[in-house]
Amino acid sequence: MADLYQKLVMLLGDDLTVLILGIVLTLGFIQFNSLFLIWLERKVAGHMQLRLGPMEVGPHGIIQTIADGIKLVGKQLITPRYVDKWLFMLAPVIVLMPVPLAFLVLPVHPGVVVLDMNVGILLIFGFSTLNVLTILMAGWGSHNKYSLLGAIRAVAQNIAYESPLLVTVITAVLWARSLNMSAIVDAQDKIWFVFTPWGALAFLIFLISATAETNRAPFDLPEAESELVAGFHTEYSGMRFAMFFLAEYTNMFIVSAVGVTLFLGGWRGPILPGFIWFLLKSYVLVFMFLWFRWTFPRVRFDQLLGFAWKVLLPIALVNLVVTGGAIKLIDLIR
Amino acid sequence: MKNFAFNVFVIITLIPSFWVALSSNIVHAAFSLFFTFFGVAGLYVLLGADFLGVLQVLVYISGILVLIIFGVMMTQRAQMEHISTRLPGRFAGAVLSVLVFGGFMVAVYKTAWPKLTELPEPVPTTSEIGNLLLGKYLIPFEVASVLLLAVLVGAALIVRQSVRKE
Evaluate if residue A300 carries a pLDDT over 60.
yes
Subunit contact B61:A132, Cβ cutoff 8 A: no
CB atoms within 10 A of CB A330: 10
pLDDT of B79: 55
Number of residues written out for chain B: 166
Indicate if A243 and A261 belong to the same structural domain. yes
Contact residues on chain A for B66, CB-CB shorter than 8 A: 132-133, 136, 155, 159
Q: Name the β-bridge partners of A109.
A: A112
Does residue A60 contact residue A222 with C-beta atoms inside 8 Å?
Answer: no
- Angle, vertex CA B44, rays to CA B43 and CA B46, nearest 5: 65
When the pLDDT of each residue in chain A is averaged and rounded to a whole number, the result is 83
The ipTM, to two decimals, is 0.73
Task: Say yes or no to pLDDT of B165 above 70.
Answer: no
pLDDT higher than threshold 70 for residue A215: yes
Q: What is the pLDDT of residues B38-55, one digit of tens each?
A: 888 888 888 777 888 888
Could you say which of A47, A70, A93 is where a domain stops?
A: A70
Could you give all domains of chain B from N- to C-terminal order, each with its CATH number? 1-96 (1.20.120.1200)
pLDDT for residue B73: 75
Lowest-confidence region among A106-115, A133-142, A157-166, B41-50: A106-115
For B76-83, the CB contacts below 8 A with 24+ separation are: B78/B26, B78/B27, B79/B27, B81/B26, B82/B24, B82/B25, B83/B24, B83/B26
Nearest one of A307, A119, A224 to B52, comparing CA atoms: A119
pLDDT confidence of residue A2: 66
Task: Kindly state whether residues A136 and A215 are assigned to the same domain.
Answer: yes
Chain B residues in contact with chain A using a Cβ-Cβ cutoff of 8 Å: 27-28, 31, 34, 50-51, 54-55, 57-58, 61-62, 65-66, 69-70, 73, 124, 126
pLDDT higher than threshold 60 for residue B18: yes
Query: Angle at Cα B13 formed by Cα B8 and Cα B15, nearest 5°?
Result: 95
AA letter at A127: F
Give tens-digit pLDDT for A190-206: 888 888 888 888 899 99
Same-domain status, A182 and A267: yes
Most confident of A48-52, A143-147, B61-65: A48-52
Assess whether A63 and A82 both reside in one domain: no
Q: What are phi and psi of B78, to 5 degrees?
A: -60, -25
Whether A12 and A114 share a structural domain: no
Asked whether residue A38 falls in the same domain as residue A177, the answer is no
Highest mean pLDDT among A8-17, A293-302, A305-314, B21-30: A305-314
pLDDT category, B143, cuts 50, 70, 90?
A: very high
Give the whole-angstrom CA distance, residue B66 versus residue B73. 11
Please name the residue of chain B whose CA is at the shortest distance from the CA of residue A87: B28
Residue range A157-169, pLDDT digits in tens: 888 888 899 899 8
Q: Are residues A180 and A320 in the same domain?
A: yes
Answer yes or no: do A122 and B54 touch at CB < 8 A: yes
Distance from CA of A172 to the nearest CA of B (A): 16
- pLDDT tens figures, B51-97: 888 888 888 887 788 888 877 777 655 555 555 556 667 788 888 98
% of chain A with per-residue pLDDT over 70: 97
A152·B62 Cβ contact <8 A: no
Task: Report the helix count and the strand count for chain A, using DSSP H and E.
Answer: 15, 0
Q: B53: nearest CA in chain A?
A: A123
Residue of B nearest to A137 (CA): B31
A93 lies in the same domain as A4: no
Residues A24 and A173 in one domain: no
Cα–Cα dist A124/A173, whole Å: 14
Give chain A's domain count: 2
In single-letter form, the type of residue at position B80 comes to: M
What is the pLDDT confidence band of residue A93, given thresholds at 50, 70 and 90?
confident
Q: Which of A70, A86, A105 is the last residue of a domain?
A: A70
Q: For position B87, what pLDDT does the model report? A: 62
Give the per-residue pLDDT at B88: 66
Instruction: Note whether A126 contacts B126, CB cutoff 8 Å.
Output: no
From A70, A99, A120, the end of a domain falls on A70
pLDDT above 70 as % of chain B:
83
pLDDT over 80 (residue B125) = no
With CB atoms and an 8 Å threshold, state whether A155 touches B66: yes
Which structural domain range is residue A22 located in?
Answer: 1-70
**CB pairs A-B closer than 8 Å:** 59
- Chain B hits for A101, CB-CB cut-off 8 Å, are none
Same domain, A5 and A63: yes
3-class DSSP string for B115-161: CCCCCCCCCCCHHHHHHHHCCCCHHHHHHHHHHHHHHHHHHHHHHHH
Are A48 and A150 found together in one domain?
no
**Is the CB of A127 less than 8 angstroms away from the CB of B70?**
no
Whether the predicted pLDDT of A92 surpasses 80: yes
Segment of A9-13, A31-35, A144-148, B68-72 carrying the highest mean pLDDT: A31-35
Hey, what's the torsion of the CAs at A265, A219, A308, B156, to 10 degrees? 140
Residue B109 reports pLDDT greater than 80: yes
Q: Please tell me the distance in Å from A53's CA to the nearest CA on chain B.
A: 38
Orientation of helix A2-12 relative to helix A14-48, angle to 10°: 130
3-class DSSP state of A109: strand
A106 in the same domain as A20: no
Alpha carbon distance A86, B76 (integer Å)? 21
